[in-house]
Structure 1
Amino acid sequence: MVVDVYTVEGKVKGQIELNETIFNAKINDVLIYELIKAANANLRQGTHDTRERSDVSGGGAKPWRQKGTGRARQGSIRAPQWKGGGVVFGPHPRNYRIELPKGIKQEAYRSLLSLKYKEGAVKVVEDFSVKSGKTKDIASIAKKLNVKKGVLITDSEDTMLKRAIRNIPWFVYNNVKRLSSRDIFYTQTVIITESAAKIINSKYAKGE
């Protein structure tokens, strides 16, 4: 399938072939859900922790004798029912990471990119760079491309482009080698450079 290629001025300069198996595939909502769930889980640090009764200091002595006081029997002031006592079934450090099989991940990305294409959210632009590294320059380009909330996908790591874009809360930068499913899913416009589109055409093709 053929789509228009835009200049940074927002004008059509030519066309490019996009792989139909990637941008016009059958959308699998379950796989997209699994992809986003994995991305969310992998952001979690998992460093949460609580102290159980054996971890809380003090409480070695029995607070009062077993019988004869009229009060309920107690063995330690660090039991869970006491103020300052240990926590029952509280969270402990754990690894939340989810690794999807390569084939599932590829299929999920095909569904996600197809979803965005069918929403009319995919736009291919000519390869460009922002040598100044200034936010105002990339903001001007985004305005000409009619981007109100978007993700820019390039073919390689561009330090100056990354620097220019990082101060814009509604615009994020992605390298095609490390696509963020969250960035693509939650955005309104997916801007792909020509070179990045060619890499996507081969990287996410069926059988790769």
Structure 2
Amino acid sequence: MVDCVVKDWQGADKGNASLDLKVAKEESAAHIVHRALVRQLANARQGTACTKTRSEVSGGGRKPWRQKGTGRARAGSNRSPLWRGGGVIFGPKPRDYSQKMNRKERRLALRTALQSRVADLIAVEDFAANLERPKTKEVLAAFQRWGVEADSKVLLIVSERQENVWLSVRNVERVRIISASNLNVYDILAADQIVATASAIAKIQEVYGDD
């Protein structure tokens, strides 16, 4: 179990939030998290790259020159891979890069990845009520009060989408906002620091704490 100090909008301590998740054994934790990460990145690939072979390139119906007597190498088609404008040898073709992983393993990997980042986790009170309208400057100022380092990549986890919060941070390059129900291994590992609202932590505990 991990206890986090919850900070209010001004950065003062306002209580605690606990996170108790079942994680993988130490000897297999890195392996299962790596598998989940590779799966996520592979499943994100479109797999639409396509090149034409010599049989698919247009032209090439006539022999460029006669077989003998010219002093040049034999050529049967100007669409040979050796020619400019010819086909591609062993080029990419559309394919499915997706990988399978059991649901229990995926959830275990996610819990393990999240638990490994508790040292970089900052818990805060829900602050949507402090934003009367979308205001990026106010949210970035709050990040400083909460102890977020300047220029660090931040993952902001909220319990649900709230328009003022979403609009305030969506254009900040170093901040990624995500709801607690859409957590993924890549975002958790890629962030330098993680900021989670108290309600988001409660939702994570509710969704992932029973396994």
Q: Is the 8 A contact 2:9 2:124 kept in 1?
A: yes
Q: Partners of 1:131 and 1:100 in 2: how far apart? A: 43
Structure 1 consecutive aligned stretches of length 4 or more whose deviation exceeds 6 Å: none
- SS of equivalent residue, structure 2 residue 22: helix
Which amino acid letter does the alignment assign opposite residue 121 of structure 2? Answer: V
* TM-fit CA distance, 1:44: 2.1
Q: Partners of 2:204 and 2:148 in 1: how far apart? A: 21
2:50 equivalent in structure 1: 49
Q: Partners of 1:90 and 1:113 in 2: how far apart? A: 39
Q: Is residue 22 of structure 2 the alignment partner of residue 21 of structure 1? A: yes
Q: Is residue 121 of structure 2 the alignment partner of residue 122 of structure 1? A: yes
Q: Partners of 2:47 and 2:132 in 1: how far apart? A: 39
Q: How many residues align?
A: 204
Deviations 1:68-114 (A, max 9, x none): 33332211000101111100100122222334221111110111012
- SS of equivalent residue, structure 1 residue 17: strand
* TM-fit CA distance, 1:152: 0.8
Q: Gaps spanning 5+ residues in structure 2: where?
A: none
Which amino acid letter does the alignment assign opposite residue 97 of structure 2? Answer: Y
* TM-fit CA distance, 1:40: 1.8
1:140 equivalent in structure 2: 141
1:101 equivalent in structure 2: 102
- Superposition TM-score, scaled by structure 2 size: 0.88
Q: Partners of 1:123 and 1:112 in 2: how far apart? A: 16
User: RMSD of aligned C-alpha atoms?
Assistant: 1.9
- Superposition TM-score, scaled by structure 1 size: 0.89
* TM-fit CA distance, 1:25: 6.9
2:207 equivalent in structure 1: 203
Q: Partners of 1:107 and 1:96 in 2: how far apart? A: 23
Q: Pairwise mapping of residues 118-197 of structure 1 onto structure 2 (< 5 A)?
A: 120-129=119-128, 130-148=131-149, 149=152, 150-197=154-201
Q: Is the 8 A contact 1:25 1:110 kept in 2?
A: no
Aligned-residue sequence identity (percent) comes to 34
- SS of equivalent residue, structure 1 residue 28: helix
Deviations 1:53-77 (A, max 9, x none): 1221111001122233333221100
Q: Partners of 1:163 and 1:180 in 2: how far apart? A: 21
Q: Is the 8 A contact 1:5 1:15 kept in 2?
A: yes
Q: Partners of 2:191 and 2:71 in 1: how far apart? A: 65
- SS of equivalent residue, structure 1 residue 144: helix
Q: Pairwise mapping of residues 25-36 of structure 1 onto structure 2 (< 5 A)?
A: 26=26, 28-36=29-37
